[in-house]
Structure 1
């Protein structure tokens, strides 16, 4: 074997998902994983909760609702019910209020972030604070409107999400003793987020300074990038060398054959993977990578190959898809390939065999090639289901209009484990199918990544009392301040902390036992925030909107 036991302990990022209706129209399997924070596995939501004086408190799973503005630019539209979870088990008067949103997910799967198993609860325990998990608009039960139409999404923007956090902090009356007297200015608030929610943390402290005393942004994807080939770079760099070498060889061969326009050769290549029924070559190229994702079926989230790098977790079994794939390419009769791999001829056939014998059935079931993997049927109702709770649709809106984050092959000057046949236009075309009212069926989206970076400063924010925590093995690293192209090195007022972790590893206290670097990040972050909280002074001015 290639020594998976020697790898650093890995952390889960399993995209939570609401099951699609049983009548879901046939359509392509869903896209790449959202940049979300890790779930806490085996967490009991209804365990007894006691305050420090022994008072029985509501269960962590008890939901509260806040009257949030539908549109912060047009108050006449009224409010909607925004769900949140809260506990004050560690709170003492004068302690901080620690707020986070899980971002693009149903918040009910993230109530473990109220507890001291996470950096949130750990800070609360250390600083006598109270913790809150606030659901993001248009996810879970927090919907301004009863559908996810383009018209409803008019108020689904990064700025509205930032304003939600600020308005909540300034106006919520928390269900605890003195909970109506802890608005910013009366009490210190700490904003915490990971991944997209980490970006929101940075954006909020950048654009609305003075509301939050401190911010902690883990694996924060602050730099919007339309052509996000960098997603695959940390995977390529840290996956087993033999597997990386052979994957690069196969991908180069696939691209060469497709670009040759040799119909017979292309058909033969597709037959190697049993995909001769797939009509469009970019769909075929994308299937090698883009369909190796956590696929959503009616009742099952599967962990699959390259994108499962983002979903690794110690002792869970969920990390096996990635390594089983590499074993299929690199192990012959219990003998592992050298670092250079077995080479193109063997790897191509082995990959094809693994795909046809094992993998296709897992992701496609009994669907034919085009139904499962094709993306060119713009008339399918699959694209335009607008029921609330469809987290994928809500996230795709943010990608299509603002972030971009289209996963594709690296430039020709760089090695790649993703096909260069797949370009940003492959994904942006699908935005037109999902949101024809915004882009038109036959148009490709033009997400305003540059505008987002200009408004909130991306890598180059100068916001103070903001901690960035990043991991070298995080596939989203190249959108964080730890990216190779970032030049902001941080300061004592904006510490940039780096570990050998994966996506948002530092949010989970258990990761400290697996990685001394992650523990160091957590300890340093707690030290900084403790110092900033100690320096905080009440100020009525901080309550102004």
Structure 2
């Protein structure tokens, strides 16, 4: 995969690996993935020592497991699935704690073996062993040597679930007695955040008895087909889920952003977006052209232009409770709201100033950060599939963006677009689900027949694994009020699942998967409460486990 220096700089700027991925060869950041936060591992390179004083392999030591290529057809053989492991805190009888980091290269996530994370804290408390298992079709764990449509036949949510179960039941861990620790002989705890949090719920829902306990952080369990709103008199806002043709509408991604960003910034962004929509709706090509030039974005398609403005808002996903004022999102808001050293009131400066300030920020700072020296159509256009830089059908490995988009296009939906009419919106309504679903047909030619748009089977995912309504027990769901993915979690306003002692729903003031990082508990009392409560529940469930094999 070729990534421009400018995009690499943006990824570092966001302090969250792969928060804004590019197409395989082009520079354009497209959509954020629901990914656990990247955490630098300050312990790498230091000796790892077990509780009895034995020197253990480094956290970065990779191991490989012979995973089935196709769980529905084992005759196709196996592939090498990479994993990382330590038994630093393990004592006989302790649990085996399995995490997949989801849609990322797992080699960058070895910190999740340590007590810098909720995984390691549970291991330290319960005398457990930790594992980070790479997801199929990410990093070095590829069933086939390309990311073609034909290879992706075995790239499904169900295959990923089966990987977790088969691994737990068959792995011989590189530790004393590691061949005697399968479920039934030892308690296993499944942990995941974001998409991997959804996998945790899906796996325990569809395979009861394999995992004794689970922890699902910011778990995007509800695949989103279409969400509409209406106001019900005297009873507040109600969300309904319906399924019109080709809709995959996840405007709710931006609701936690709109509600929790600085009020002046929210007011001005809403004003600018309303103006953008009115100008585009007018059909006045001169006015539309002038508007695009205000931002330095003379894109040939109005929806590409409108979609580009979301990129400032996507930087919210990288925030954590200890994020400082120099983070990209706050730099964006400061560009709009600080004038001559004075900040606007909660109502903002108003349309005229905000429009020019936002445009100036793109021209002076943001465009270079995301596009470098690439032209605007090469960087942000989505209609030219012939550009040598577009990489629409580049199938080389690894390519986390392409692998994730396959799941989005075929199963999850999750198209982050403008809110419905009548609902405040910080994203243009010119951006529709079809804008993204059209690109699926470019990325995966032939996968959707002759259709102009992909039709993700979100209803099938929700039916198979129960989405918001899962009844699975012995799993903690942890969510954050400031998480942009909140509306796909059990904490969504549309969810009617209240949780229980058998399925606790814990809510903090966190951002995306904040509760997975111990440092965030130190920064937020509510996150620490979630972490402490979760460990208490899991300890209780593990104490009740008895061997069955």
Same fold (TM over 0.5): yes
Q: How does 1:258-277 map to 2 (within 5 A)?
A: 258-276=280-298
**Alignment correspondent of 1:351:** 358
Change (3 A) 1:281 1:14: same
Q: How does 1:183-202 map to 2 (within 5 A)?
A: 183-202=182-201
Q: How does 1:70-469 map to 2 (within 5 A)?
A: 70-225=69-224, 226-276=248-298, 278-289=299-310, 292=311, 305-313=312-320, 320-380=327-387, 382-440=391-449, 443-469=452-478
In the TM superposition, residue 104 of structure 1 has moved relative to its aligned partner by 0.2
- Cα distance in 2 for residues equivalent to 1:18 and 1:422: 19
8 Å contact kept, 1:231–1:477: yes
What SS does the corresponding residue of 1:383 show, helix, strand or coil?
coil
In the TM superposition, residue 316 of structure 1 has moved relative to its aligned partner by 6.9
1:472 aligns with 2:484: no
Shifted more, 33-42 versus 500-509: the winner is 33-42
In the TM superposition, residue 463 of structure 1 has moved relative to its aligned partner by 0.2
**Alignment correspondent of 2:6:** none
Change (3 A) 1:439 1:208: same
8 Å contact kept, 1:243–1:341: yes
What SS does the corresponding residue of 1:436 show, helix, strand or coil?
coil
What SS does the corresponding residue of 1:180 show, helix, strand or coil?
coil
In the TM superposition, residue 314 of structure 1 has moved relative to its aligned partner by 6.4
**Alignment correspondent of 2:241:** none
8 Å contact kept, 1:13–1:311: yes
Q: Output one character per residue of 1:179-219: Cα deviation in whole Å (capped at 9) or x when no partner.
A: 00010000000000000000000000100000000000000
In the TM superposition, residue 285 of structure 1 has moved relative to its aligned partner by 0.8
Shifted more, 441-450 versus 428-437: the winner is 441-450
- Cα distance in 2 for residues equivalent to 1:18 and 1:63: 25
With structure 1 as the length reference, what TM-score do the two structures score?
0.91
What SS does the corresponding residue of 2:392 show, helix, strand or coil?
helix
Change (3 A) 1:371 1:16: closer
- Cα distance in 2 for residues equivalent to 1:390 and 1:17: 13
**Alignment correspondent of 1:3:** none
- Cα distance in 1 for residues equivalent to 2:110 and 2:22: 20
Change (3 A) 1:476 1:19: closer
Change (3 A) 1:234 1:507: same
- Cα distance in 1 for residues equivalent to 2:371 and 2:16: 22
What SS does the corresponding residue of 1:345 show, helix, strand or coil?
helix
**Alignment correspondent of 1:5:** none
Q: Output one character per residue of 1:204-240: Cα deviation in whole Å (capped at 9) or x when no partner.
A: 0100000000000000000001211011000000000
8 Å contact kept, 1:12–1:313: no
Among 510, 530, 540, which residue is 2:519 paired with?
A: 510
What SS does the corresponding residue of 1:67 show, helix, strand or coil?
strand
8 Å contact kept, 1:309–1:319: no
8 Å contact kept, 1:312–1:319: no
In the TM superposition, residue 323 of structure 1 has moved relative to its aligned partner by 1.2
Change (3 A) 1:12 1:509: farther
Change (3 A) 1:324 1:16: closer
**Alignment correspondent of 1:13:** 16
The CA RMSD measured in Å over matched residues stands at 1.7
Shifted more, 360-369 versus 136-145: the winner is 360-369
**Alignment correspondent of 2:500:** 491
Q: How does 1:8-47 map to 2 (within 5 A)?
A: 13-15=16-18, 24=25, 27=26, 29-47=28-46
Flag structure 2 segments of 5+ consecutive residues without an equivalent. 1-13, 225-247
- Cα distance in 1 for residues equivalent to 2:179 and 2:40: 33
Change (3 A) 1:181 1:142: same
With structure 2 as the length reference, what TM-score do the two structures score?
0.90
8 Å contact kept, 2:218–2:477: yes
Q: Output one character per residue of 1:250-297: Cα deviation in whole Å (capped at 9) or x when no partner.
A: 000000110111111111111211223x110111111111xx2xxxxx
- Cα distance in 2 for residues equivalent to 1:263 and 1:536: 68
Shifted more, 328-337 versus 459-468: the winner is 328-337
**Alignment correspondent of 2:240:** none
8 Å contact kept, 2:19–2:33: no
- Cα distance in 2 for residues equivalent to 1:77 and 1:247: 53
In the TM superposition, residue 349 of structure 1 has moved relative to its aligned partner by 1.0
8 Å contact kept, 1:16–1:109: no
What SS does the corresponding residue of 2:66 show, helix, strand or coil?
strand
Change (3 A) 1:320 1:16: closer
Among 510, 515, 523, which residue is 2:532 paired with?
A: 523
Structure 1 outlier segments of 4+, above 6 Å: 16-21, 314-318
Change (3 A) 1:389 1:252: same
